A and B are shown apart, each in its own frame.
Chain A
Amino acid sequence: MAVSPLIVPGSGERGPHSKSKLSAASSGNGTPSTTLGSNSLKDVAEQMNEEEKDKYVKGKKVGEGTYANVYIGHHKSDPSNLVAIKKIKVQQEYKEGMAPDAIRELKHLQELSHPNIISLLSVFSSKDQNLNLVLEYLPLGDLEVLIKDIENIHYGAADIKAWMGMLSRAIWFCHENFVLHRDIKPNNLLIAADGEIKLADFGLARSFADPYRVMTSNVITRWYRPPELLFGAKHYSGAVDIWSVGLVFAELVIRNPYLPGDTEIDQIAKICAGIGTPTEENWAGVSKLPEYTVPSPTTPVHGPEHYLGMFGTAGPDGVDLLMKMLILDPRRRITAREVLEHRWWRGEPRATRNEDLPKKGPGSGLSRLGATESKRPGMVEGVARRLDFGA
């Protein structure tokens, strides 16, 4: 896999050619043995890296983001076999170290292998010392595109069940492996050529914390952020992802974001109005959370009739599942495993088969891929994309 072309950390700057660490290191640094040694090391390391790099051909840039550019590429041996190449920008000549998003994405994608999670095919470094992540190519855009394209894309309860099934399995797999995704939203759910949904963007993901260790509450794009995070909780669990999954579910049904808050305060107001006001009665201990404030007067938690009116397409069982995902108290919210055991999946209609799912035509998906993988529409204030030294 990836092997750096660098030779000796710290020895590179000696030569005037700081651009190429290889030539710098092998151009003699005072000891007779160096030249030979560096060369032979270069050969081995370079070779392995070159082999990996040579498998792919990088094509045009399809997206640009804060820490990476995304290119479309293909296997050299098979031009029809497309890949996405995410090239991580090295920040200001390494001065700030590797971007935490990049580190998180690498660390988790290296370990998680599941049909509903984007796969990392390879990693190599290029001449200019950038890390390149070779990801599977997902040409058909993302769920957000489908949801928004009301004109051309028509889908029903069976399709929603299929997409939700794939999302639920992905998140179950993450939690089973002690990973919190922390940024679930429709435009992080990419669609493969065969219709399979793939959870992408692990730039905010982290392992479950040990008990008593604090985590930052500044994660998850606002519209999908659960009340415990809005109230500043520093200890939380997989329930944060489940809330986001519930809101993706709601959005799939009504084809609009269900709780599109303009600010964090507005987000809390939208939750109070759309679901109910979190109070000590429905969530013991909530008022002790650091940033707990709710608008008055309080709204009682809506019952099934409210949801049936709005999300009736999903059927009574679907609505039951949705309501359980959107339980205010994270301790009572349904878990990923319980989601998969819910009766909705077994009832009618059956989930649509992948090949029959509504799709956006290929071609138009290209630009989305880049945008999704790097840009983040709908994110005004930004989530914890930087290292949070407080947590």
Chain B
Amino acid sequence: MAANYWESSQRRRWQFTREGLEDLRKKLEDEDPNLVQGYPLPQLRHLSIYFNQQVARLGKRLGVRQQAMATAQLYIRRFYTKVEIRRTNPYLVLATAVYLACKMEECPHHIRLVVSEGRTLWPDFFSNDTSKLGECEFFLISEMSSQMIVHHPYRTLTSLQGTFSLTQEESNLAWSIINDHYMTDLPLLFAPHIIALMAILLALVLRPNQTGVQSAGNAAGGLASAAHAALSSAGSLKSSNPDKANGSSRTKVQRLASWLAESNIDIEAIVDCTQEIISFYEVQEQYNEKLTREQINRFVKARSLDK
């Protein structure tokens, strides 16, 4: 992290409303309806899951730390608000995003190494020529208006761990919820501290002893209402929570709720955030990797974008 979030380009230039974001994307699609119709793609969240998996594969081979992978995913998301995906080779874009993110997070890898790992992972879609990646880097920087510093929710999580007496498990769960939120539009919609608080809230409500977030889909309704109850109790601080305090997690949720009530943090935003991530977990259940890959590969090949 660097600089101050409130003054940052992230807040000034890369935080959108839902409508604003939708308009941007619609405008991209409207530029060439034939292209969009000719190459149907899965919904954006499924594409994001696929990109997340591919970034993780590349990151693993390069030994990239989580924060740089998070930065890379946000670069990809920013980039595709400016450029129609069907005009790009997503494999090149995501490798470039990882390469640039590593430079930005001061854990650089040589361009040749990134290219050769990319070639190993996606032999049919990746050229050996480093200048392709270099050129794409230039493209990426330009499209992001050279605003490259990203503020992540991880730091807020780490600094609030003590405040809410999170156990290691709870904090790990919150951490992985933050990892997951890069597959949604949340980082383009909300400030990092809002996301971190959402992750803490969910981690407390979910309780780590459950089977895990992935199974949250079925329980999403109950989960949403539990989270909602906690937050509405934050809204009316005085009214004591009628739920019987049941275990330490419960009281931690209450502590979080009263902490929020005393803070100036936008509780509506946290509610909104919570719903978004829960609906993502539902959508994740329907994710079909094979279909997603085929649809991406189809336009890359058909349009010779890999050349």
A95 within 8 A of B: yes
Stretch at the interface among A33-41, A193-201, A359-367: A33-41
**Interchain nearest-CB distance for A23 vs B (Å):** 15
Q: Looking at the complex, which one of B84, B108, B127, B143 makes contact with A100 (CB distance below 8 Å)? A: B108
**B 7-21 to A, binary, CB cutoff 8 A, 1 in contact else 0:** 111000000000000
B164 within 8 A of A: no
**A 270-301 to B, binary, CB cutoff 8 A, 1 in contact else 0:** 00000000000000000000000000000000
Contact residues of A between 83 and 111, Cβ < 8 Å to B? 90-98, 100, 103, 106-108, 110-111
Check A94/B131 contact, CB under 8 A, given A1-B145, A37-B31, A112-B3. yes
Contact A207 B146 (CB under 8 A): no
Q: Which of B32, B38, B305 counts the most chain A CB atoms within 10 A?
A: B32
Q: Which residues of B contact A178 (CB under 8 A)?
A: 1-3
Q: Looking at the complex, which one of B35, B132, B304 makes contact with A9 (CB distance below 8 Å)? A: B132
Contact B145 A123 (CB under 8 A): yes
Q: Looking at the complex, which one of B100, B131, B146 makes contact with A93 (CB distance below 8 Å)? A: B131
Check A10/B89 contact, CB under 8 A, given A2-B146, A36-B32, A178-B2. yes
Contact B87 A97 (CB under 8 A): no
Contact size range, A: 35 or more
* Pair count A-B, CB < 8 A: 187
A37 and B303 alpha carbons, distance in the complex (Å):
12
**A 356-387 to B, binary, CB cutoff 8 A, 1 in contact else 0:** 00000000000000000000000000000001
Q: Looking at the complex, which one of A49, A95, A110, A131 makes contact with B149 (CB distance below 8 Å)? A: A110
Q: Looking at the complex, which one of B92, B106, B127, B130 makes contact with A215 (CB distance below 8 Å)? A: B106
Stretch at the interface among A11-19, A233-241, A255-263: A11-19
Contact B104 A103 (CB under 8 A): yes
Contact A40 B306 (CB under 8 A): no
A110 and B7 alpha carbons, distance in the complex (Å):
10
A29 within 8 A of B: yes
Contact A2 B142 (CB under 8 A): yes
**Interchain nearest-CB distance for B245 vs A (Å):** 36
Contact A10 B92 (CB under 8 A): yes
**Interchain nearest-CB distance for B25 vs A (Å):** 14
Contact A110 B147 (CB under 8 A): yes
Q: Which residues of A contact B131 (CB under 8 A)?
A: 92-95
Check A111/B7 contact, CB under 8 A, given A11-B304, A41-B87. yes
Q: Which residues of A contact B127 (CB under 8 A)?
A: 10
A111 and B130 alpha carbons, distance in the complex (Å):
30
B4 within 8 A of A: yes
A100 and B141 alpha carbons, distance in the complex (Å):
13
A265 within 8 A of B: no
A36 and B87 alpha carbons, distance in the complex (Å):
12
Contact A98 B138 (CB under 8 A): yes
**Interchain nearest-CB distance for B37 vs A (Å):** 9
Contact B136 A10 (CB under 8 A): yes
**Interchain nearest-CB distance for B275 vs A (Å):** 31
Q: Looking at the complex, which one of A32, A41, A206, A387 makes contact with B31 (CB distance below 8 Å)? A: A41
**Interchain nearest-CB distance for B213 vs A (Å):** 25
Check A106/B141 contact, CB under 8 A, given A33-B32, A37-B31, A37-B35. yes
**B 76-99 to A, binary, CB cutoff 8 A, 1 in contact else 0:** 000000111001110011001001
Q: Which residues of B contact A391 (CB under 8 A)?
A: 106
**A 202-226 to B, binary, CB cutoff 8 A, 1 in contact else 0:** 0000111100000100000000000
A352 within 8 A of B: no
A90 and B294 alpha carbons, distance in the complex (Å):
35
Contact B146 A123 (CB under 8 A): yes
A387 and B114 alpha carbons, distance in the complex (Å):
14
**Interchain nearest-CB distance for B208 vs A (Å):** 25
Contact A389 B305 (CB under 8 A): no
**B 42-72 to A, binary, CB cutoff 8 A, 1 in contact else 0:** 0000000000000000000000000000000
Q: Which residues of B contact A176 (CB under 8 A)?
A: 4
**Interchain nearest-CB distance for A46 vs B (Å):** 12
When C-beta atoms are compared, the residue in chain A nearest to B132 turns out to be A10
A31 within 8 A of B: yes
B276 within 8 A of A: no
Contact A179 B137 (CB under 8 A): no
B240 within 8 A of A: no
Contact B304 A107 (CB under 8 A): no
When C-beta atoms are compared, the residue in chain A nearest to B31 turns out to be A40
**Interchain nearest-CB distance for A157 vs B (Å):** 34
Q: Which residues of A contact B89 (CB under 8 A)?
A: 8-10
Q: Looking at the complex, which one of B1, B103, B139 makes contact with A103 (CB distance below 8 Å)? A: B103
Q: Which residues of A contact B100 (CB under 8 A)?
A: 98, 103
A1 and B34 alpha carbons, distance in the complex (Å):
29
Q: Looking at the complex, which one of A29, A44, A125, A179 makes contact with B2 (CB distance below 8 Å)? A: A179
Q: Which residues of A contact B145 (CB under 8 A)?
A: 1-3, 123
**B 266-294 to A, binary, CB cutoff 8 A, 1 in contact else 0:** 00000000000000000000000000000
Q: Which residues of A contact B132 (CB under 8 A)?
A: 9-10, 13, 94
Q: Which residues of A contact B83 (CB under 8 A)?
A: 41
B243 within 8 A of A: no
Check A4/B35 contact, CB under 8 A, given A11-B307, A90-B138. no
> Which are the 9 A-B pairs with shortest beta-carbon distances?
A94-B134, A4-B142, A207-B2, A9-B136, A37-B32, A1-B145, A111-B3, A94-B131, A33-B35
Q: Can you sample 6 A-B contacts with CB below 8 Å?
A: A9-B96, A98-B100, A98-B141, A207-B1, A387-B110, A389-B108
